[in-house]
Structure 1
Amino acid sequence: MIYQKTDISNYQKLMETYSINSLLAKVLSAMKYDEQDIASFFNPLKEYKLDDKVFKPIKECLEIIKKENKKVFIFGDYDCDGICGTTIVKKILDKLEIENGFYIPNRLDEGYGLSMDKLKMAYQKGYEVLITVDNGVSSAEALKFAKEKEMISIVTDHHIITQTVNCDYLLHPSLLNEDYNYLCGSGIVYLLANYLDLQDPSMTVLAMVATIADVMPIKGANVKIIKDGIDFLNQGLYKNILALDKFNFPINEENVAFKIVPKINAVGRMANIANVNNVVRFLLTDNIKEINSLASQIIEVNNTRLQLSKEQNNLVKQQINKNDSFNLIYLPQLHEGLLGLIASRIADETKKLTFIMTDALEQIKGSGRSNGLINIIDMLEGFKEHTIALGGHSQACGITIKKEMLEPFKAYLHENLMNYDNAAIEEYIEVDVNDLKINNIKELFSFRPFGQDRNLPLLKVAIENVISYTSMKNEYQLKWRCKDIDFISFNNKGYENYKNQEKIEVYGYLQENIFRGKVYYQILIKEIIE
């Protein structure tokens, strides 16, 4: 690991301009915001201003659909965003008293995107309207079928548009102004609910969960969506989501990311043992007994996913060659729904470009993760013509190839990685005890939520003026208690190594924790500088 100091030389100017403390100014400087981003940071969006040109035609269309008693077929996606978005659209149509049905495809058997077979079945059952959620912009063949059968098609999606979308109505972040360009699939249909004045706390919570799940930039409308959703959750206004865990209140965005999102995603991943459509039913029901029963089933599926992930992650780790410049592990026995999770973990641990692959019918499917430095889609551009399917973004991809293309794929990676700097670099900022005063820390965390494009940076700081130094569960779990903040270490040297040191420099991350209603601040140590 190479640590690189971030230039935060303008932090004093930020202190003066915005009358903020040194810690907040240094963190804000590290985020590399432009003036508009900084203005939005301090003055986030207070209310949604929605473009009539985009939303009004859909509103009028829904009025006609209701008047003519047309049936609506909602086609969603199997990840957390797709599940939450499907639920929001179903809630909208139910409130409008429009007859509707929904379907989310099986990840393993049907894959991503609008299915021609399911659309034909819906048409044969009398559905005259199609609404896609978190998919549709790349479903040319299915949308052509909808046109031929004179079905009304409303595509709601947030994925990159690469071709003309042959639909009657399109709802996409790119059609809106900059504050709304970062919305996920659930976010865009949540705004439709707002435009129709049908929004409720449950929809806000669903949009919040999906925004965090899809790791969308914490900018513009997303800040309001996350804040409002978390506020409603802390008021206990959506018991379905709260049933998924035992929470310490108040809940924050990290609790959502680690305690809610994985459970919802697990059902889509484990499509061989669970039906993802039942998660939508769970999110729709108001029956407490049914909520608790379905929540228990979702938790059980996630526990199965956790155990299988652990086992298969260990299998993959045994195949890693430390001398290789990248990781490409192909094991026929791996669960297709877990490839992305395993790839993320291995890429994070090894700091290398990683592909985890397995058999899928007569093909090989894989999930790729960058080491943070390589644009994975750009790098694979030269191999695209040899793939059956390739999609994703700069840091992650899904890839499908013929079995005979595995070795050529390895050769392509070997050859092309020579053009990339594969060294793992982590940037940090320097802070001191004066920056880490309790009031400074409190002010910083008052600007939650943090996340994508709004991350708290790695800190380089000295542990000094120690009040107490102890080991916790074992000699490698260490705790230094200082005046305003604690330092915690789990994976460095043992207790005796640091016993008599008056000052220790570390790299670590600032955290806010809540235990029994009390707020604690700590730095989780990544590495102790020897």
Structure 2
Amino acid sequence: MYAIKDNIEFDERLFEHFSSEYTRLMLSSKNLTDEQIEQLVYGRLQIEDSEVINEAANLFNVAKRENRKVMICGDYDADGICSTAMMVDLCQRLGFVTGYYIPDRLKEGYGTKESTIEAALEKGYDFFILVDNGVSTVEVNKKIMESKSKLLIIDHHVISELVTADVLLHPDVLPEAYQSMCTSGLVYLLCLALGMENDKMIQLAAVATIGDMMPLWNYNRQLIIDGLKSLNHSPLLQFAALLDKNVNEYDEGLIAFQIVPKLNVVGRLSDRANVNQVVKYMLSDQKEEILAVAEIIKQLNLTRRQLSAKMYDLSKSQITDEKLLIITHPQFHEGLVGITAGQISKETGKPTIVLAQKENSYKGSGRSNSINLHKLLSEAHEHLLHFGGHAQAAGVEISNRQFDEFSRFMVAGVNDLMEHLDDDVVEVLRIEPEILTLSSIDEFERCSPFGQGFERPLVFLKNVTVKRPMHNANRNFSKWLISVGNQEAEVVLFSNTDDSIRNADSLDVIATVTISSFMGRRKISLMAQKVAKSHGN
């Protein structure tokens, strides 16, 4: 449900920094703190000293003196892959003998396993670095420490019990500026402390931060700005080769939609490929090898999209009036359940758990933008085999015999938490078309990067005149050329709509505002979430 907001009160603190009515209105709607305004205006943060980061850096000095061999144990998503590649690169440049391993998502599941540690110990590895996992691998950590090996854990997942390690590098033990960072961002802080940062490291950290949808404030904002600057100056071939076409500029949207899904796909479809090969890909300096592997990854991503579309279609019939959706089907692929959960949750506005059916259990992922999913799952732990993750994204496994009880518990729990859900609304700013100009939008776009915690606001334009429709035969794509003030703009909608709207003379539009560019010509572009035939003012 959308709630149209009129007459937003302008935040006078913005006036000395921003000149256009459009930018002032967009930012006023966000109720920014003084610190957030300062970050938008001045950008850079002073690097804060951290005792924990210094301890982690010193652990490398100790390990080097003791001639230890490093084993890096990672995770299979974009952050896990990037942080593993970063750590391997760092350790190799520091002169360590270095091995690495990321588990098979489908056969082994999340987190470092005791069998991996036992095999590494037999090969003489005695300095273990767990990246993007570790805070929940209690028995593994105990085994490492009992072997007299060194253990560094770099993780950002929720800590639910005491973590045993020589050093734990986690946002919870760092200064405020670093408290919403993903693992790759934490590894980059370690690189800074060791004086080992470079373009590869900042690009990997920025891509992972976008991929893990971390809040774009504090050091995350600076990290992404610096990473995009590096990408636009000299992008890693590994990233450039994953793009579907050549681009003039890397931005956070391009990374989120063109690069991150392809980094994730090998981990998701581990029945078809080995995610450890993606780490090798990220570390390679052989052009032919990089280009060849990139093509394999892109083809695998096409397969993923086909499978995901089928799962989405199967899921739609299970959408109910419940405030939490639990969806399962025998044909669901375990590696893709998180994608489907995200799609359904975004479409319905409801917390959604999508589960694949295994022989003796259900295994899947949940997504939520409204409740702390990890907290609710922790309260349901008696009905679970395993769970972990974050407030908005979590993994879960339930035994067959506990499934019905788990479902009842979760639905009841969400009902208690979200009695207001029926009244849940998305706020939309009503704006007059005349304030939309290329220069005013440019000014607001300079506040980028946009993303988690700092999204482009949704706007509502009423009764805009259609100059001409520009649709194609695909019913899931519509475009209208409209008049905005004294200039042209386009409305783009990526969903099915009927002919009465496609052929309307005037439209009511809810959209985010961007600028598109084609053949050197720039145009205001309204990326619509909803379009309706207008019935006047």
TM-score range for the pair, normalised by the shorter chain length: over 0.9
Residues 10 and 28 in structure 2, CA contact (< 8 A), matched pair in contact too: yes
Q: 1:96 to 1:462 in 2, by over 3 A?
A: same
Tell me the SS of whatever aligns to 1:86.
Answer: helix
Number of the residue aligned with 1:515 = 518
Calculate the aligned-residue CA RMSD, in Å. Answer: 2.3
Matches within 5 A, 1:128-207: 128-207=126-205
Tell me the SS of whatever aligns to 2:249.
Answer: coil
Structure 1 unaligned residues grouped into runs of 5+: none
Q: TM-score, normalising length from structure 1?
A: 0.92
Number of the residue aligned with 1:284 = 283
Give the drift of 1:75. 0.7
Number of the residue aligned with 2:10 = 11
Further displaced range: 514-523 or 245-254: 514-523
Tell me the SS of whatever aligns to 1:154.
Answer: strand
Q: 1:223 to 1:496 in 2, by over 3 A?
A: closer
Number of the residue aligned with 1:330 = 328
Number of the residue aligned with 1:527 = 530
Number of the residue aligned with 1:403 = 400
In structure 1, distance between residues paired with 2:219 and 2:332? 39
Give the drift of 1:382. 4.2
* Residue identity in the other structure for 1:92: L
Q: TM-score, normalising length from structure 2?
A: 0.91
Q: 1:283 to 1:34 in 2, by over 3 A?
A: same
Q: 1:512 to 1:489 in 2, by over 3 A?
A: closer
In structure 2, distance between residues paired with 1:45 and 1:15? 18
The counterpart of 1:385, out of the listed 382, 391, 404, is 382
Give the drift of 1:20. 3.4
Tell me the SS of whatever aligns to 1:374.
Answer: coil
2:24 counterpart of 1:22: no
* Residue identity in the other structure for 1:194: L
Give the drift of 1:361. 4.2
Residues 240 and 291 in structure 1, CA contact (< 8 A), matched pair in contact too: yes
Deviations 1:349-368 (A, max 9, x none): 23333221122342111222
Q: 1:309 to 1:388 in 2, by over 3 A?
A: same
Residues 388 and 395 in structure 2, CA contact (< 8 A), matched pair in contact too: yes
Further displaced range: 307-316 or 216-225: 307-316
Further displaced range: 129-138 or 231-240: 231-240
Number of the residue aligned with 1:48 = 47
Give the drift of 1:403. 0.2
* Residue identity in the other structure for 1:460: F
* Residue identity in the other structure for 1:208: A
* Residue identity in the other structure for 2:310: E
Number of the residue aligned with 1:116 = 114
Structure 2 unaligned residues grouped into runs of 5+: none
In structure 1, distance between residues paired with 2:110 and 2:319? 32
Tell me the SS of whatever aligns to 1:271.
Answer: coil
Give the drift of 1:324. 4.8
Q: 1:382 to 1:175 in 2, by over 3 A?
A: closer
In structure 1, distance between residues paired with 2:481 and 2:124? 67
Give the drift of 1:495. 6.3
Residues 438 and 484 in structure 1, CA contact (< 8 A), matched pair in contact too: no
Deviations 1:84-143 (A, max 9, x none): 001111111111111111111111111111211101111111001011111112222111
Residues 4 and 428 in structure 1, CA contact (< 8 A), matched pair in contact too: yes
Further displaced range: 263-272 or 480-489: 480-489
* Count of paired positions: 523
In structure 2, distance between residues paired with 1:98 and 1:378? 39
* Residue identity in the other structure for 2:158: I
Give the drift of 1:379. 4.0
Q: 1:360 to 1:286 in 2, by over 3 A?
A: same
Residues 218 and 449 in structure 1, CA contact (< 8 A), matched pair in contact too: yes
Further displaced range: 449-458 or 299-308: 299-308
* Residue identity in the other structure for 2:263: I
2:488 counterpart of 1:494: no
Residues 135 and 159 in structure 1, CA contact (< 8 A), matched pair in contact too: yes
Tell me the SS of whatever aligns to 1:401.
Answer: strand
Tell me the SS of whatever aligns to 2:434.
Answer: coil
* Residue identity in the other structure for 1:425: V
* Residue identity in the other structure for 1:458: L
Residues 18 and 24 in structure 2, CA contact (< 8 A), matched pair in contact too: no
In structure 2, distance between residues paired with 1:398 and 1:89? 25
Number of the residue aligned with 2:309 = 310
Further displaced range: 383-392 or 186-195: 383-392
The counterpart of 2:509, out of the listed 478, 489, 506, is 506
In structure 1, distance between residues paired with 2:109 and 2:392? 21
Residues 248 and 517 in structure 1, CA contact (< 8 A), matched pair in contact too: no
Residues 248 and 514 in structure 1, CA contact (< 8 A), matched pair in contact too: no
Residues 384 and 406 in structure 2, CA contact (< 8 A), matched pair in contact too: no
Tell me the SS of whatever aligns to 1:506.
Answer: strand
Tell me the SS of whatever aligns to 2:311.
Answer: helix
Residues 114 and 139 in structure 1, CA contact (< 8 A), matched pair in contact too: yes
Residues 48 and 175 in structure 2, CA contact (< 8 A), matched pair in contact too: no
Q: 1:447 to 1:8 in 2, by over 3 A?
A: farther
In structure 1, distance between residues paired with 2:280 and 2:502? 55
Q: 1:358 to 1:492 in 2, by over 3 A?
A: closer
In structure 2, distance between residues paired with 1:374 and 1:134? 23
Deviations 1:269-295 (A, max 9, x none): 001111000000000011101111111
Further displaced range: 88-97 or 208-217: 88-97
Residues 324 and 351 in structure 2, CA contact (< 8 A), matched pair in contact too: yes
The counterpart of 1:236, out of the listed 234, 237, 245, is 234
Residues 374 and 394 in structure 1, CA contact (< 8 A), matched pair in contact too: yes
In structure 2, distance between residues paired with 1:79 and 1:321? 27
In structure 2, distance between residues paired with 1:166 and 1:383? 25
Tell me the SS of whatever aligns to 1:434.
Answer: helix
In structure 2, distance between residues paired with 1:409 and 1:523? 42
Further displaced range: 405-414 or 159-168: 405-414
Residues 8 and 30 in structure 1, CA contact (< 8 A), matched pair in contact too: no
Residues 380 and 410 in structure 2, CA contact (< 8 A), matched pair in contact too: no
Tell me the SS of whatever aligns to 1:469.
Answer: strand
In structure 1, distance between residues paired with 2:146 and 2:194? 29
Identity %: 32
Q: 1:430 to 1:197 in 2, by over 3 A?
A: same
Matches within 5 A, 1:68-467: 68-245=66-243, 246-317=245-316, 319-370=317-368, 372-419=369-416, 420=418, 421-423=420-422, 424-464=424-464
In structure 2, distance between residues paired with 1:309 and 1:48? 41
Further displaced range: 277-286 or 328-337: 328-337
